[in-house]
Amino acid sequence: MALVADQSVVLRKTKELCEALLAEPEFHAIRLKLDQFMINDEVKGQYQELGERSEYLQHKQEQGVTLENTEIEDYELQRNRFLENPVARGFMDAQKSLQEVQETVNRYVSKTIELGRVPESADMESSCGSGCGCH
């Protein structure tokens, strides 16, 4: 597609957007939180265990098995212990921040394609799109 060819304006502007993101001081703070998580094997292990436990419990529910109160309490205790760790909390906050940036950029690009023009603030107030039944 010519819009995203190697020398296209769209690709050049996309790279400029990436450079602007990298130039943001907040981005460096987010990267630091991610890096701190990545070098901490203990916290990474807790994160993996928590994810596995969550998947296990979700699978049980999908199979129609009622979860025991102790299973739920144990999971919540494990989750709370994980989130009490500042490295873990920082990682979760960093992930959330990056996800918000990605969602915002995607919404703007999608809305631009939909409208055929750069969206204004009022255009962005309803982000669910046309045809969703909420309008």
Q: What is the CATH number of the domain that holds 69?
A: 1.20.1500
Confidence of residue 114 (pLDDT cuts 50, 70, 90): very high
CB 91 within 8 A of CB 34: yes
What is the span of the domain harbouring residue 24? 17-115
Quote the number of domains for the chain. 1
* Structure confidence at residue 126 as a pLDDT band (50, 70, 90): low
Residue 8: band (very low, low, confident or very high) from pLDDT cuts 50, 70, 90: confident
Separation of alpha carbons 32 and 55, rounded Å: 28
The answer to the question of residue 70 being in a domain is: yes
Q: What is the pLDDT of residues 30-73, one digit of tens each?
A: 999 999 999 999 999 999 999 999 999 999 999 999 999 999 99
Position 133 pLDDT exceeds 80: no
**Separation of alpha carbons 125 and 91, rounded Å:** 29
At 8, is the secondary structure helix, strand, or coil? coil
pLDDT recorded at residue 132: 52
